[in-house]
Structure 1
């Protein structure tokens, strides 16, 4: 697995640091560096790298505004000397957020996050045991291994992903949205407030589903769908 990347930063020394770090990682190929956002945007309108190392504080246009302007947004690792932009960066679904001065270990960890995300998007992991998704929580991208999901619960504007061997993960997303990235045959909605993994269903009785650790209700509007994918006549 390899990544193509560009770096956009108005500080020449920061660009040189990215160049030197990339040469130490055979998985990454640097295809362009730019000292101003406008040149970077022009390049990105013609080429489509996997990843951008993007400074936030630039004189002509901020890295945040640049990211918002991209029609086809690559993976982004923001780089900046200022902590206060972290939330804004992750709202734009950044892979990571690196504070300057950046050391190589922290840089490489961010790159490997991007590599993992590319693997997921290209469906390199095709079996249930290896499948995973990423969600944003607590200003980070959290890797959710699908076999560890017990159930997913709606909480107004958020969802809570309950896991087998870890604390629940809360992320700003709807049940409808997460269903779009989950394997269709492995996860089903049973209620306006719940999604369950099919492989964790142990029994069904009185319009309730018994999972490994909890019993959840089946919503009236989902009853027929549940019967169909369970292959049963009554609940």
Structure 2
């Protein structure tokens, strides 16, 4: 199935580059382009699309304001010549963020993320179980394999996800409650106000300390039942 997409950018050359890049991918069908955000917004009021490639910095309405105004948001890939706009795009949960001039290699990587996420959401709508989740980190959508998660650390409005296959943890704007709602409760459990662990990653528990391959975490007073459960 092709993904219907549009491109919105006030620079004609940028539109031509996006059109040329899209033509390289049979999974994408470009149905319209717009050189101003107002025309794009009007089109989106009456037409449903799967994906928008949209410039952030436009004179009438910014790409960020346009996307924020949509009640039914499609997947979004932001494009811009200015890196300073990245964080606002991150807040809107864009699939990716492309810095101009956009190479075909970088565009291809963004399209692969779009296709992977579309497949994930389609499976989710059919209530199929999936061995991965998606979170937003460093202004992009990141796919995380559940089997690689060791533990999760809460840091106020953010969580750090520690993985077996990546040395640096993934930081995402989400609460501990929010991330646990994405994870199967049979495989992940909260052991402390600040920590949750993958049950299969637990090597041992001693003196209310959970030992993992790369860390030792405390068990909070309100979560002591986990010790009895794990010991069964």
- TM-score, normalization: structure 1? 0.84
Deviations 1:150-193 (A, max 9, x none): 10011233211111132222222211111222233322222211
Matches of 1:46 and 1:212 in 2, distance apart? 53
Aligned length: 229
Q: Tell me how far 1:59 sits from its aligned partner.
A: 2.0
Contact 1:153 1:159 in 2 (8 A): yes
> Cα distance, 1:231 vs. partner?
8.8
Show the counterpart of 2:114: 114
User: Quick one: distance in 1 between partners of 2:31 and 2:220?
Assistant: 52
Find the aligned partners of 2:35 and 2:203 in 1 and give their Cα distance: 58
Shift in Å at residue 25 of structure 1? Answer: 0.5
Show CA shifts across 1:81-131 (max 9, x none): 222212222222222222222222221111111111222222379666xx2
43-52 vs 206-215, which moves further: 206-215
**Partner in structure 2 of residue 7 of structure 1:** 7
Q: Distance in 2 between matches of 1:59 and 1:83?
A: 17
Match of 2:54 in 1: 54
Residue 154 (str. 1) matches residue 154 (str. 2): yes
Q: Mark the runs of 5 or more structure 2 residues left unpaired by the alignment.
A: none
Partner of 1:17: 17
Aligned to 1:187: 188
Q: Which moved more, 1:44-53 or 1:24-33?
A: 44-53
CA distance in 2, matches of 1:228, 1:75: 44
Compute the displacement of 1:202 (Å): 3.9
TM-score of the superposition, structure 2-length normalised?
Answer: 0.85
What's the counterpart of residue 70 of structure 1? 70
Cα 1:206–1:112 change in 2 (3 A) is same
Instruction: Decide which moves more: 22-31 or 212-221.
Output: 212-221
- Partners in 2 of 1:184 and 1:196 — Cα distance? 11
- Give unpaired runs (5+ residues) of structure 1: none
What is the CA RMSD across the aligned residues, in angstroms? 2.6
Aligned-pair distance for 1:57? 1.9
